[in-house]
Amino acid sequence: MINTTPFIRRADMIRCVLCDNAPCDSACGVLNPSGLLRSIWFGNEQVAALRLPKINPCESCEAPCERACLRAGEVPIKGMIRNLYNGVMPNVETEAPEDESRLRCDMCGTPLENPFLLSSSVVASNYDMCARAFEAGWAGACFKTICTLDIHEASPRFSALYSDGGSIMGFKNIEQLSDHGVAENMAVFRRLKAEYPKKFIMASIMGQDEAEWRTLAHLCQENGADAVELNFSCPNMAEGGMGSDIGQVPELVERLTAAAKSDCSIPVLAKLTPNVANMSPAAEAALRGGADGIAAINTIKSVLGVNVNTYVSAPAVHGNSAVGGYSGNAVKPIALRFISELAQNSKLKGMHLSGMGGVETWQDALEFILLGAGTVQVTTAVMQYGYRIIEDLKAGLNLYLAEKGFANVGEAIGLGLDSVSHTTDVLERDTVIFPHFNREHCIGCGRCTISCSDGGHQALRLNEARRPVMDGRSCVGCHLCVLVCPQNAITPSRKRISRSKPVST
């Protein structure tokens, strides 16, 4: 499956703001430019190409879409569509699947249309939001955590770190639990289940004692929830032995899971905190308490910088701030680490893993599935881009499964686990893979030589033509140069060199 996204994003997509009701669509009248651009942004060029008519209608067009753009003249829409026709379409080997049957899966035995769920958060906090998400194509939602507490939120309560392209890379929140009463939320469950009987409703709950955990779980089941998620991990509700304070103590996880499970026959998942060295002790405790699955990860405790003028961290609330939960694409590597840990734990075999943490694209979601997750939950990307991202999540994963010959998404679960070790002792260390330099793409900037000189092994220099020259005796194959090259002109070589043999320059 080809992927030209990095080049398109940097060079062309950088100025597109992914508009709501995009003016380029109404200006075109033939294609749906905004949908094509969105698919490009989310790494879905093949799906975009498959949606195009066989003959490019843009060739003789004067590009009114570009003039109508809110950043007129800054987004080369016509050029990107030409790239889909000339660069992507000729390489598409698999036709678009006729249906979404490959995406069908289950949560602890309950059928799901696809593996994509909204995670417990503001994106699934009332009837209207969940209904619109269901209409968009999400298989279900984990409703925002229900409690008996009187919740009053701070303002502001969000802050973010941005990538060079302007999109949110890391996101911090100090949001707490549902600010709607228990009875009001139960009414939402009843209405959703009546109007969307095939959609999956998971109720996230947090109690103050064993009796409350038991009562809330029972109420959620009575009012239509298909499963219950026990929130043992909210970093913003740690006072009084709640939230992540529970998830850090296996004995509490076991006891409160057992309490919730005691009067509840629907599946129960324990949502565990990443604010621990290892998640297995808490997961094993949840299993002993009767949990049917594990949800992970919740947000990571964080301080998102400090304003150098006011000396207050963000988000600042009347001159004060607090440690809060960090999410977004930046936390995905940490989430994948925990999911792989749980999936490789033989004691947890048979438990459903619902993974989350930094999912924006279908590739992100697939990585969780390959490391053992049976379902995938999303919040921060929805907050940034809207429920509409489900279109590309489903279409991209569906095409991938068809291309690989999988009958269903379940066949992909755990296929990447054998490549993951939680110790580096197993790695082969006797050969070096040199970098390969593409002279045509290289522009002679010298970024590779700077990084190699100051952060590597002094194996690169620029020649008179401003092209990198490698000293094979010094190169250790670390591939720092591969990572820093702004032109993607350096790739790993297929040639492996044994350390035991002399290397020529």
pLDDT tens profile 331-365: 999 999 999 999 999 999 999 999 999 999 999 99
Tell me the average pLDDT across 33-50.
95
Q: What per-residue confidence (pLDDT) applies to 165?
A: 78
Confidence at 8, pLDDT banded by 50, 70, 90? very low
Contact at 8 Å (CB) between 285 and 253? Answer: yes
3-state secondary structure of 251: helix
The reported pTM is 0.93
Contact at 8 Å (CB) between 254 and 290? Answer: no
Q: What per-residue confidence (pLDDT) applies to 500?
A: 58
The size of the chain, in residues, is 505
Q: What per-residue confidence (pLDDT) applies to 4?
A: 41
Tell me the average pLDDT across 202-221.
96
Tell me the average pLDDT across 283-292.
98
Confidence at 240, pLDDT banded by 50, 70, 90? low
Nearest to 66 by CA among 108, 109, 22: 22
Helices (H), 312-423: 332-343, 362-370, 380-385, 390-404
Least confident of 18-27, 44-53, 154-163, 235-244: 235-244
Q: What per-residue confidence (pLDDT) applies to 10?
A: 46
In angstroms, the CA 103 to CA 391 distance is 13
Tell me the average pLDDT across 497-501.
66
Structural tokens at position 164:
């060079």
Residue 67: pLDDT over 70: yes
Q: What per-residue confidence (pLDDT) applies to 148?
A: 87
Q: What per-residue confidence (pLDDT) applies to 505?
A: 41
Residue 201: pLDDT over 50: yes
Tell me the average pLDDT across 25-37.
94
In angstroms, the CA 410 to CA 374 distance is 7
Tell me the average pLDDT across 110-124.
97
Q: Which residues are catalytic?
A: 234
What integer best gives the mean pLDDT of the chain? Answer: 92
Nearest to 286 by CA among 313, 261, 316: 261
Residue located via tokens 């522009």: 443
Residue 152: pLDDT over 90: no
Domains of the chain, start order: 5-91 (no CATH), 104-419 (3.20.20.70), 428-498 (3.30.70.20)
Distances (CA, A) of 161 to 65, 310, 314, 415: 31, 18, 10, 32
In angstroms, the CA 201 to CA 222 distance is 13
Residue pLDDT, tens place only, 427-479: 888 899 999 999 999 999 999 999 999 999 999 999 999 999 999 999 999 99
- For 429, residues 6+ apart whose C-beta sits below 8 A from its C-beta are none
Q: What per-residue confidence (pLDDT) applies to 482?
A: 97
Cα dihedral: 58, 60, 65, 71 (round 10): 100
Residue 1: pLDDT over 60: no
Residue pLDDT, tens place only, 373-395: 999 999 999 999 999 999 999 99
Confidence at 501, pLDDT banded by 50, 70, 90? low
Q: What per-residue confidence (pLDDT) applies to 6?
A: 41
